[in-house]
Structure 1
């Protein structure tokens, strides 16, 4: 069936308008596409190619070594496995403690305290400051040999030591810094607590459930999606931790390698020893490991994440 003259003109005008809209959309998207290709996607693909070379900054001396960087990483680099151990301890100890502390504070703040907005702002402030260079420098002075902690202990006649200079306490000091930034997950937990209907708690109380039973049977299952969300984000951030450990340990990973994080060793291999190919391989292994851990968390979610209003 052929279109009449007016219908053809209307269809042509409609197609012309759609074409102009499409062109305008691509024009507005073009800066982002250029940035994505040349700033994000390009370097990612380049690092993957470099991970199979012994690139040290000179294209003339670059050689293709295949899987040698990965084989060396898993077989002969003792510092690599030391950094893996330190990073795993940091992530799987400090992140659960931070989330538990954030949840506990959120539960307390949800009890209808006066000046809730002020308390919420105070507790959220450390997350805004984060683990920046300034905060890391402050941490060095607080936990150093002559820092604030030792000065307070000195008032009671207790002789302190450099907590960041002792292998037995250096990593724990950085863990405390991570726990200190509990404000962001706390705000998310607090928002989730506000969404739980009060009638559920009232019914559980009438059935004889005490506070602890109400927490385990109502509060925690209702917040389990937020626990998953905060856990994934905090875990990824923990594996990528760099600034605080670099500043606190002066970039050495000391004392005695106790704060040699994976990212810090990667930085040393790349920009101190100019083993850029090897560092690229380390980066891709870290990416794959984070992806695997994240996938495991999401796959396990069906066993412990409840998308309802409690059990």
Structure 2
């Protein structure tokens, strides 16, 4: 009898953690445990030590993070506690207990000044607290010596939680016009595509073959305006999307203007084909249109 790999998913209530929970039923060779911050607090080192002394896992997927980019500027200590110190606690325990750590990071570790797709060797230079604390978390994992994969992703959306797709879908259903910035460029990441990728490499054991940092997003490039325009077009909402410059929306956070993640290394090592962002977006909206139009998906 083959023993199922035991997988702990931390951050079960977030976008990605929720999507992994949704997809888990298709991966019968994996034995899942899901925890929220109320059940397992990364920042409580005593609780963490006690938990891992009582529970054994082969793989931990860390989806927990302080993701409020604006809020992080005013709450740097709180953001650092979750995104850096909590990750340090987790990585050290994974090292001690010989657990493979899969950690989710962000494109916000870059400043967006390159003007070309960014590979994993480009030196990070975060512009704000969120990016800085996420980068610290990455560095703590590397220093810990634990076996790990770090995936930087961008513009994540799903049927769960708050995200750009759901916001535009809801607003365009009731408004005649939406203004969206066109001078910030990147690539959306479908949580469905990414979660299936993660679970597949765990199920088939490929996660053990390669370690380090990888970039993941859907293929292609777009601005937030392009992204919003496609959402409205696919849903056939009677709403005009107007391109504007980001300086029309003053913010405490300086966001990177161009962060397109180069996925060549990931595609080569894991032998995966990643869908174009427009195809994945169309698939997502087609399958969830009824929920959105009935306002069952809240923002």
Which band: TM-score by shorter chain?
Answer: under 0.3
TM-score under structure 2 length normalisation: 0.21
- Of Structure 1 and Structure 2, which has the larger fraction of its residues in strand? 2
- Which structure would you say has the larger Rg? 1
